[in-house]
Structure 1
């Protein structure tokens, strides 16, 4: 049985958004889901410029957890951008 997911702290509330390539209807696109914690980790490390250690402290998780979250988030983002997929922000209480 896996360990329960640790509660994470989020500074910002995000609206439910879907980014897609211009001029292509959403119905015909593959969709990549970017979860709330992935978006927050990207924001803290890549936009705000915090280190993984600082981002982990702010979110209430370890640096290793932030590193794993960032790896997945960057992969999903790169896939969506390079293949022309829709990027949807999903999660609890965005």
Structure 2
């Protein structure tokens, strides 16, 4: 049985739900999902410049979990930019 996911504190929200290359319909693009907690981890570490320990505390998660979120999110963003994929956020409001 998988360990239950610890609730994470998320303060920021993505401005859009999709970023994609211009001129190509979304139906023709591979979509890469980016979770809310991954966006928050990127916002805290890369945009606000927080140290990982401080950002982890802000999200109520361990530093290692934050590092894993940042690593995975960065990989998804770079994959989307380099390979022309649509980057989709999961926070559809």
For the aligned pair, the TM-score class normalised by the smaller chain equals over 0.9
- Tell me the TM-score normalised to structure 1 length: 0.92
Task: Check the 8 A contact 1:16/1:90 in 2, yes or no.
Answer: no
Matches of 2:15 and 2:47, distance apart in 1: 18
Per the TM alignment, residue 11 of structure 1 is displaced from its structure 2 partner at its CA by: 1.1
**Aligned equivalent of 2:27:** 27
The reply on whether 1:58 has 2:61 as its aligned counterpart is no
**RMSD (CA atoms):** 1.4
What are the Cα deviations for residues 27-83 of structure 1, in whole angstroms up to 9, with x where unaligned? 100000000000000010000000110110000001000001111101111101000
Greater displacement, 12-21 / 49-58: 12-21
Q: Give 3-state SS (helix, strand or coil) of 1:33's partner.
A: strand
SS in 1 for 2:10: coil
Aligned pair count reads 93
Partners of 1:9 and 1:44 lie apart in 2 by 12
